[in-house]
Amino acid sequence: MARVLLISPNLKGIKDGANRIQPGLGVGYLAGVLEQRGHTVFVRDTALEGYMNVTELEDGRTILIGESESDIRKYMIETNPDVVGISILFSNLADHAHTTARIVKEAKPGVTVVLGGNHVTNAARDYLAARLQVNESKDLEANFQEFANPDIDFALTGECDFTFADLVEDLSEDRDPTGIAGLVYHHPETGELVFNPTSERIDVKTLPHPARHLMNMEGYFSIGKFHSIQSHSERVLNVMAARGCPEKCTFCTTPDMWGAKVRWRDPQDIYEEIRSCIEEFDIGEVQFEDDTLTANLPNLLQLCDLLEPLGIPWCTPNGTKLNYHRNKQPEMFRRMREAGCYQITLACESGVQRVMDEIIGKRLQIEEIRPAIANAKAAGLLVHTFWIVGFPGETRHEMERTIEVAAESGADSFSVSILTPLPGTPIYRQVVREQAWWDPEKGIQDMIYRNSLVRVDGFDTSLEFENWVNEQNAYLNSLLEKNDPERAAFVHASRGARNLSPLKLKQT
């Protein structure tokens, strides 16, 4: 049996920003599988453990949050692992992931270091596309830096909940691991990078619950900056009911990473995960991280039936597609509310049909936005909405129209985001192909919320555009107080109920 250390690296964030932090579900599933197989597992979120240790970066706007090198090295020596897995969920974590790899190799030169996570899978996809000359530009190839680092031994792509454990076992038994699905490694003779095909989609019903008992849950609770920070409780449980999304939005990595088919876990198992965490961690709220929680209506309704007796408030901080089950929406939203849901987030994206159809590729009609919001509000739900501006090919007039449509939508609150060209997406490849960056010296390591990296029509600088977006967010989120003070008071009271018990929340 092996000793395995799973690390989430330090967090790059915005100075004076929210800089949210919560337990990594991917790391949690890896740890759960490893424990099932008898390995000794340690989980370390260096951003969490050093959350008060903040270093301002050169640009004066961004910061690095997390443990010092000496603290990471000390923990590495204390745990003395045989294998270290480093998870890179977001591209802006990649720099510190490489720093972490160097630290652990310095502390124990013989340790095996493995990279994984959403960023690694998508960066590998872009690298392979460039190598096969699928794209016109070779610049994509230069952006796969994971194996330019001699401190990295392997990477795993795709769903590696089980394949990481397979790799650990091959290494601990001195077996050749090069046949493992999704493995990336250097060929022992030629030194060339080898990318094994990823495995078939896993059966999510076979996954154990995330190993939260190995995480510093009290640390996350004390910081209280989960995905949706306007929560009913500081003791939040983040959960995924399903993986996959049937949509093909050009800015999103989900369909390629998790598949175009929505794969639900057993609703009874989801219930058991939540119930057990309420008992173990005194959970006061659940936040579902699914991209498409409402896509499978029978499973959603079954989950609602199970959750209702718990009396636990919950919400959907990710943007749910708003035109699923249009004829059944009033009943669906009503059952969600009865089961404890207090807020739904609806992904509206744009107020311009051309942008929706030709740039985003989202199967959504603009005229469907207002009725969905009205249905959710009528059911007693708070409605938060997502909008995106700054797509390549989008005009300033179209962005301004999106703000107008948002203002007329009837939503309670708004998040207007600047397009982030995520590796692995069509939008990213377009930006690279057209060299559409504001600053060619910046790249995926600078992909932080509210950073503008891509040139935008009608603006001379990235800062000018960022300021405009900030102004639109402030404007939109001021409308409810002006237009409907009674509703605004209800929303404010609902989002400010952190110290209320779940039962009392359910009854109000």
pTM of the model: 0.93
Least Cα distance to 116 among 12, 225, 9, 211 occurs for: 9
Check if the beta carbon of residue 314 is closer than 8 Å to that of residue 288: yes
> Buried b vs exposed e over 247-284: b needs ≥16 C-beta within 10 Å?
bebbbbbbbbbbbeebbbbebebbbebbbebbeebebb
Q: Characterize the bridge pairing of strands 183-186 and 154-156.
A: antiparallel
Tokens of 285: 């709220």
Q: What are phi and psi of 285, to 5 degrees?
A: -160, 150
pLDDT at 242: 97
d(CA 339, CA 44): 34
Give the residue with greater pLDDT, 502 vs 31. Answer: 31
d(CA 344, CA 332): 12
Average of per-residue pLDDT values in the chain: 91
For the segment 208-232, the average pLDDT, to the nearest whole number, is: 93
Domains present along the chain, CATH in parentheses: 3-195 (3.40.50.280), 226-419+454-507 (3.20.20.70)
Q: What is the pLDDT of residues 306-332, one digit of tens each?
A: 999 999 999 999 989 999 999 999 999
Q: What is the pLDDT of residues 365-382, one digit of tens each?
A: 999 999 999 999 999 999
Check if the beta carbon of residue 84 is closer than 8 Å to that of residue 104: yes
What's the per-residue H, E or C state across 277-299? Answer: HHHHHCCCEEEECCCCCCCCHHH
d(CA 455, CA 457): 7
Q: What is the pLDDT of residues 401-443, one digit of tens each?
A: 999 999 999 999 999 999 999 988 999 989 988 999 999 877 7
Q: What is the pLDDT of residues 80-95, one digit of tens each?
A: 999 999 999 888 888 8
pLDDT at 462: 94
> Across-strand partners of 183?
156
**Amino acid of residue 365:** Q
d(CA 281, CA 177): 38
Check if the beta carbon of residue 29 is closer than 8 Å to that of residue 207: yes
The SS3 assignment for 16 reads coil
Q: What are phi and psi of 194, to 5 degrees?
A: -115, 130
Q: How buried is residue 346: exposed, middle or buried, by Cβ count under 10 Å (0-12/13-18/19+)?
A: buried
Q: Residue 192: pLDDT band by 50, 70, 90 thresholds?
A: confident
For the segment 387-400, the average pLDDT, to the nearest whole number, is: 98
pLDDT at 128: 83
